[in-house]
Structure 1
Amino acid sequence: MNVLLGVSGGIAAYKSADLVRRLRERGCDVQVVMTRAAQEFVTPLTFQALSGREVRTALLDSAAEAAMGHIELARWADRILIAPASADLIARLTAGMADDLLTTVCLASAAPISLAPAMNQQMWQAPAVQANVATLRERGIEILGPGEGDQACGDIGPGRMLEPLELADMITDEKPDGVLAGLRVLITAGPTREALDPVRFLTNRSSGKMGFALAAACQAAGAQVELIAGPVNLPTPIGVRRYNVESAQQMLDKANERVGKAQILIATAAVADYRPRAVQDDKIKKSSDSIALELEKTPDILGELSRRETHLFTVGFAAETRELERYARAKMQRKNLDMICANEVGPGQGFDVDENALLVFWPGGQQQLGPRHKRALAGELVDLIATRYATGDEHAGAVAP
């Protein structure tokens, strides 16, 4: 496979040298294209020695085919990977700019494009950067990471470029088989926001951590994972395709769009049960001692999908403050679910914490999981889901068109 590795400016550029080596170990031919800023961190000579190819840096190159180096490279590449992808590079790609060789190749090539972002955690979480990333995802560009942890600037948080070994495995599809290998999983996660007026909304305390942990665990188990996320401040798990929504209706619309290709639906989202019947066009003023709100039910996303999409293996969640088993079993029956995961919520439990415990029910059985960290809990739950999916006669082997 011909991999065009784009390197943009950032301290993480030093990792890209090892990435070249990892890609070549997997039999890839690697052509490096560097931006001007990248050359301030690592010299082209380093990449030339590792790739065995002259590094390309100039948009107008008299030595290239018909002096059009961007067309030559665009035709050559089977895959384009930009690592690191800086905030500036992401912004220029979003705007469709072609002001250097790397951005011009991206516009001129039909090859799949993947970005491995790397930047300060505050930059990564900036609304402008998140909007740009969302736009690129909608255009079919794959976002790999970023990871989370210590950063060169001294901050801690999301924004680290994924490690070269991870990126090489993801690009070359060298993923180990897992209990969900070959399956497509759709996950909903986080809260929804139901608007009252242009500045206020109804929501709940869901952090989305359990859903995001399950997305990572399903991907690690070999599944192709799509994640529909309400408004949460969490990094996208590696290899997972993410769609951001706000309201229950938006979550339902996106789920309707994506569910046909899935075999398993895991609905961890804490969808608001009610929304204002009328949304005010202007900010509600504090003009009286009390205010009355008329609410209406939101769509029953899980119930609707479970009853309509009979090919799905459906897993629901029930967050309860009392009578856990009774309410969970009633919800499983009412919504026609294959499995439901119940957990108690309240101060220091369930929401906004890293640990959780689940009591999992299915027709004819139950199992206690946890308490433990949500990441470890997610791995155990995925194993249980895989076992129940494999033994369910009505779902085993079912494949959506």
Structure 2
Amino acid sequence: MSTLKEDALKYHAEPRPGKIATEITKPTVTQRDLSLAYTPGVAEPVREIHKDPEAAYRYTGKGNLVAVISDGSAVLGLGNVGALAGKPVMEGKGVLFKRFADVDVFDIEVATQDVEEFITVVKNIAGTFGGINLEDISAPRCFEIEKRLQEMLDIPVFHDDQHGTAVIIAAGLMNALEIQGKQLADVNIVCVGAGAAGIASMNLLAALGANQQKLLMVDSKGVLHTGRSDLNSFKRDYAVETDKHTLADACQGADVFIGLSGPNVMSVDMLNSMAANPIVFALSNPDPEIAPATALAERDDLLMATGRSDYPNQINNVLGFPFLFRGALDVRARCINTDMLKAAVYALAELAREPVPPEVLAAYSLDSLAFGKDYIIPKPFDPRLRERVPTAVAKAAVDSGVARLPL
């Protein structure tokens, strides 16, 4: 039997290297077709776009084209492997965009990790695209890059490792709280991992109504508290006045544990010190912060999610970014704002509470699936995602004034 490594390398290499390609969308079978596709006919849309840049949305593929752009500084769990080595991941992102939301992608690997150079490159090529998906860029550089590019450009600039992750965590947590009989505004939340995903997730939870004074963020040196002098500006926003300085301290009495760090950082003692009916999102991949079998054997009142597909409640970004961009592109939004993120959260959470279609059960070889401790978030192959989430996002874009087209 072949190994995963052998299968993965063969998958990427054969019968044609890579995972994505371009396609021609117009007829090219006659001389007349070619004269329209290129010279002399192509001069006509060029003239129209020269007169009105917005005409590019009518005469080119710009409106359905997203750039997946990375510098390779934080690729999956592999770290700083560089831009070229990250290309298979960026192509994979293109596969997911196209498969789940019919969004076209060019993947672009930028061979610099200098913030200014990277921003200059993206700014100068942005006119090609209807949106920019920043990918696998290390923190805290990613915060500055995203913020400055969004200020410069009039198309969505979205860092999926931040906001895509945040949306799925928030949607799953809303339903987990419902099942466990708790309210977001009341719960004590511990987030282990104060990088891009952690900070963005806490930002979104705060926007949804979490009490920021009840949010304890933990990095490699312990709880972010006001007595620390080693915090960057992004971490300082989550520094609270507390005598809890270690992860073990933070877990005592906590209602929610969100792990975005590394394997096995949560001990059984930490789990047992949490409040009644706890929620644990152990999202480190491939090895969670605490093994699900261990955690569930220890506490029968636990609701648990992971980042893995072989356990219930997978927190998977593919539920977010394709549909966020689909909704944004459909109304030609200038950005993806907090209102649009919140709309995606609510749409995902509500969908998981509805009866599961037979085709979803068939795709996952299940006899039944219903809202509860083992099903808090929709499955990626749920066909309803394609309609529900983009529509909610597009409506929020229109309502918040960032759309250029009506719903």
Q: Which bracket does the TM-score occupy, shorter chain normalised?
A: 0.3 to 0.5
Compare relative contact order (CA 8 Å, sep 6+) and give the higher one, 1 or 2.
2
Structure with higher strand content: 1
Give the number of the structure whose alpha-carbon radius of gyration is greater. 1
